[in-house]
Amino acid sequence: MSKDKVQIFDTTLRDGEQVPGCKLNTEQKLVIARQLDYLGVDIIEAGFPVSSPGDFTSVEAISKVVKNATVCGLTRAVENDIRVAADALKYAKRPRIHTGIGTSDSHIKYKFNSTREKVIERGIAAVKLAKSFVEDVEFYAEDAGRTENEYLARVCEAMIKAGATVLNIPDTTGYCLPEEYGEKIKYLKENVKGIDKVIISCHCHNDLGLATANSIAGAINGARQIECTINGIGERAGNTSLEEVVMILRQHPYLNLNTDINTRLLYETSLMVSEKMGMVVQPNKAIVGANAFAHSSGIHQDGVIKNRETYEIIDPEEVGVTESAIVLTARSGRAALAYRAKKVGYELTKLQLDAVYQEFLKFADRKKEVVDEDIHHIMKNVDVAVAI
């Protein structure tokens, strides 16, 4: 059975850049945009052109250099936003305008002091205006996660009629459970006239740590675009992490969903974004964290040394990490010590290993991690090792 493609919509340069302190200049954005294009993302959300002259310049510059991906600019359902975005995107080979409005009762009441009907009218006008500039128009129903399904279906149907090519169903506040979000997508698939002519997109925030799970639930239920960021950066607790959704789809082939991402570039892209944005990746971050392929307990190390598959579901090389790390601590066993000692030049017999291990444990109890230099030091103290 052939696989269905899930488009990867990267919003590192828009939602990701909304993180306090992560502001990038145009040069830095261009470097990241080129890397994202090279990585194989389908859509790059380059910015929110009306928000500042700098963002306009960045979206325009990115539009000129991106070769393969669609370049997208965000707008509110506001005439001037849309005109400015169209202008910023004029050099793009494949431009997309991403426009929309809040559809939950809380947004309608508190943000707009409006009514459900008037919000639909504003959405239609925005999509039609965007459509007069570009063929590819994505509509977002902001806070769709907390929007009642029946009304959301009416919004979607109206936007399809107005010309939207992609319908974005954001869980803006990261509120939904995966079952609930998946059900929402299923409901739209089953109840919106014309839905099969457009792509449904997931845009999930991570306030409850469920952004990735919700996006996958959306894809399982028919969404064919996932909006995400490198390292999962974004407003508050962040967005869906690109590397996580890509690897989940790859590791679960029976879902019959795939992406065009060159996974071997994931790690270097993560490092680049972390460095340019000055935002450290948490060590235990899935796929790209410093500990994602590091083994430190004796039982795990012994297993991994015998066969990587005992404790690793991904070959690190598949995501661009050269090799798994066997980290030596007081919790490590003889197998790990022998393995690392061999790497730095010592082949130990069983007797030698026993002696060295006792010395190693004393050393490791005083130190958080035993590094290669420490191994040489331990060897000198024990004086039973034979250098190879």
x/- letters, 120..159, toward ligand KIV (CB under 6 A): --------------------x-x-----------------
Q: Which of 234, 232, 254, 252 is nearest to 243 (CA)?
A: 232
Enumerate the H helices of 192-240 as residue ranges: 211-220
In terms of CB distance, is 211 or 304 closer to ligand KIV?
211
DSSP per-residue letters across 87-125: HHTTT-SSEEEEEEEE-SHHIIIIIT---HHHHHHHHHH
- Please tell me the distance from the alpha carbon of residue 239 to that of residue 228, in angstroms, as a whole number: 6
Residue nearest to Zn ion (CB): 15
Which one of ligand KIV, Zn ion, none interacts with residue 145, CB within 5 to 8 A by kind?
Answer: none
- Please tell me the distance from the alpha carbon of residue 350 to that of residue 79, in angstroms, as a whole number: 77
Which of 10, 15, 55, 244 is close enough to bind ligand KIV by CB under 6 A?
A: 15
Q: Least Å distance between CB 265 and ligand KIV? A: 25
Dihedral sign computed on CA atoms, order 208, 213, 216, 217: negative
Only one of the segments 80-88, 166-174, 217-225, 324-332 lies at the binding site for ligand KIV (rule: CB under 6 A); that segment is 166-174
Q: Least Å distance between CB 204 and Zn ion? A: 8
Q: Least Å distance between CB 36 and Zn ion? A: 17
x/- letters, 217..256, toward ligand KIV (CB under 6 A): ----------------------------------------
In terms of CB distance, is 28 or 168 closer to ligand KIV?
168
19 in Cβ contact with 234 (< 8 Å): yes
The amino acid present at 6, given as its one-letter code, is V
Does an H or E element contain 157, and which?
helix 149-162
The amino acid present at 314, given as its one-letter code, is I
Q: Number of residues in contact with ligand KIV, rule: CB under 6 A? A: 8
Which of 203, 276, 295, 300 is close enough to bind ligand KIV by CB under 6 A?
A: 203
Binding site for Zn ion (CB under 5 A): 15
99 in Cβ contact with 82 (< 8 Å): yes
In terms of CB distance, is 182 or 238 closer to ligand KIV?
238
In terms of CB distance, is 47 or 170 closer to ligand KIV?
170
**For residue 227, which phi and psi values (nearest 5 degrees)?**
-95, 130
Q: What are the angstrom distances between the C-alpha of 43 and each of 84, 139, 237, 261, 284?
A: 19, 15, 23, 12, 28
Q: Is 172 in the site for ligand KIV (CB under 6 A)?
A: yes
Q: Least Å distance between CB 243 and Zn ion? A: 18
In terms of CB distance, is 24 or 292 closer to ligand KIV?
24
In terms of CB distance, is 58 or 104 closer to ligand KIV?
104
Which one of Zn ion, ligand KIV, none interacts with residue 276, CB within 5 to 8 A by kind?
Answer: none
136 in Cβ contact with 95 (< 8 Å): yes
Which residues of this protein are in contact with ligand KIV, per CB under 6 A?
A: 15, 140, 142, 168, 170, 172, 203, 205
